[in-house]
Amino acid sequence: QSALTQPPSVSGSPGQSVTISCTGTSSDVGSYNRVSWYQQPPGTAPKLMIYEVSNRPSGVPDRFSGSKSGNTASLTISGLQAADEADYYCTSYASSSTFVFGTGTKVTVL
């Protein structure tokens, strides 16, 4: 199972919006609405930000939103803040009760 493809880095100024793409195949992202997104500041465990493509857990600001089209899922961060600077990973359910992570994207707030 190959890793899902994410851009290595994205950046934006405070208040701007950034979008991170996550491209898989018809065997994972394209087949299931089971895409999640995780935020990982350096040296910490990942934190769930989005699940089932576009659902936000309680406590996650509505500045974070998710979507999917075909084999590509996306995470958008609106109203970018300094606290959003971290690595972000997508993951998708694949076949036979397995999961695959994305390659990760570093978000930098300029």
Partner 1 sequence: QVQLVQSGAEVKKAGSSVKVSCKTSGGTFSTTAINWVRQAPGQGLQWMGRIIPFLGIAEYAQNFQGRLTITADKSTTTAHMELSSLRSDDTAVYFCAREEEGYRFAYWGQGTLVTVSS
Q: Which residues bind partner 1 (CB under 8 A)?
A: 1, 3, 32, 34, 36, 38, 40, 45-48, 51-52, 55, 57, 87, 89, 91, 93, 96-104
> Of the two residues 34 and 63, which places its CB atom closer to partner 1 in the complex?
34
In whole angstroms, how close is the CB of 85 to partner 1 at the nearest point?
A: 17
User: Between residues 51 and 64, which has the closer beta carbon with respect to partner 1?
Assistant: 51
- Nearer to partner 1 (CB atom), residue 55 or residue 108: 55
Q: What is the DSSP string of 5-49?
A: B--SEEEE-TT--EEEEEE--TTTTTT-S-EEEEEE-TTS--EEE
* Nearest residue to 69 (alpha-carbon basis) of 106, 103, 105, 26: 26
Give the containing element (helix H, strand E) for 37. Answer: strand 35-40
Kindly tell me which of 15 and 52 has the beta carbon lying closer to partner 1. Answer: 52
Asked if 51 contacts 33 with a C-beta cutoff of 8 angstroms, the reply is: no
- Supply the Cα-derived Rg of the chain in whole angstroms: 13
The least CB distance from residue 41 to partner 1, in Å, is 13
Nearest distance from C-beta of residue 55 to partner 1, angstroms: 7
